[in-house]
Amino acid sequence: MLYKDLIKKYKSDYNIKKLIEIGKIFKIEKGIYSNQKNVNYLEILTKKYPDAIFTMDSAFYYYGLTDVIPQKEYLALRRDKTKISDERVKVIYYQDKFFEIGKSVLKINSVNIKIYDKERMLIELIRRRNKMGFDYYKEIIRNYREIKDSLNTKKIAEYISKFKIGDYLYDVIMKEVF
């Protein structure tokens, strides 16, 4: 729960402090509270950054396209959002016209997270391939080849059409995945 939600429910900071003292509510971190002592960190991140969408290394890992556990959680935000200074998070900022493309929800360890779908992540993989290690890129491409029959090619085509380098993206995807 967020602090603002607790204030609405319990009417005062004093009441919240009393509930914390008797163990009915636990302070997880600044501004984040729970009725459980231990909370999944994904749940904390989704509460703390409700507008963020999981992307890049995090998304590849959660979709099983790599077994490399990301050092940080990769979150996408709109360019106009406030900068996040959280050592657990790496933020990638997107223009408004690209931000919503492929937004989806995935359940990880009983937590629903906003995440870009596999089709959007394939496009992001190609767009950012020069910024990642060659072996890492090849591992993810190899795993995309294994699931190519389950990918929605209409979605991929629709997403590609939104990017100026759409023809390039299409050529690389056709050559490396299909």
Q: Is the pLDDT of residue 11 over 90?
A: no
> What number of other Cβ atoms are within 10 A of residue 69's Cβ?
8
Average of per-residue pLDDT across 131-158? 97
pLDDT at 173 (0 to 100) = 97
pLDDT digits (tens, 9 = 90+) for 64-118: 999 999 999 999 999 988 888 899 999 999 999 999 999 999 999 999 999 999 9
pLDDT at 80 (0 to 100) = 87
Q: Which residues contact 68 (CB under 8 A, 6 or more apart)?
A: 57, 60, 61, 136, 139
pLDDT at 151 (0 to 100) = 97
Q: What's the whole-number average pLDDT of the chain?
A: 95
Pairing of strands 103-108, 73-78: unpaired
